[in-house]
Amino acid sequence: MYGGDVSYRLNTEGDTRYQFGDEVRLNLDFEYILLPWVYKKPGHELFTLLEATFVHKEVDQSRDRAISATRRTELLLAPGLQYIATEQLLFSVSVQFPVFADVKGRGLERDYNVLAEFRFAF
């Protein structure tokens, strides 16, 4: 299974005259059922996942002055596992790390992110 989405965030000036840069994001998600080998009904499934995220963020501005260290372009991968206990309950965990990062100036680069998820549908 696979899925994806594209988003664009347009940021505008706030009360403090600080404007965050616009951001484009592309997310892709690939899943494969590991268990059960014989699929009979929903629930008790273990998936392996690979999530990919591409982010391009424009420079922030403060009082009409660009802050070059806030511009970034990144490609992040996140392999992980997802367990669907029941039709209402899901657990997942993955580790996201950069494959490519272009961070301007003295901007902060990512090392890794741990992503954990718990969902319960009422």
Q: Alpha helix locations (H) across 14-55? A: none
Span of 1-10, 50-59, 61-70, 112-121 with lowest mean pLDDT: 61-70
pLDDT 10s digits, 71-104:
899 999 999 999 999 888 999 999 999 999 988 7
Distance CA 83, CA 91 (A): 5
- Per the structure block, which two tokens stand in for 73? 């372009």
| CB of 93 closer than 8 Å to CB of 117 | yes
| CB of 45 closer than 8 Å to CB of 86 | no
Instruction: Give the residue from 18, 110, 30 showing the smallest Cα distance to 65.
Output: 18
> What is the amino acid identity at position 119?
R
Residue with tokens 């391009």: 56
**Residue percentage of the chain with pLDDT more than 90:** 55
DSSP state of 68: G
The terminus-to-terminus CA distance of the chain in angstroms comes to 24
Q: Give the SS3 label for residue 70.
A: helix
At 15, the pLDDT band (50, 70, 90 cuts) reads low
Distance CA 84, CA 121 (A): 12
pTM of the model: 0.79
> Does residue 35 surpass a pLDDT of 80?
yes
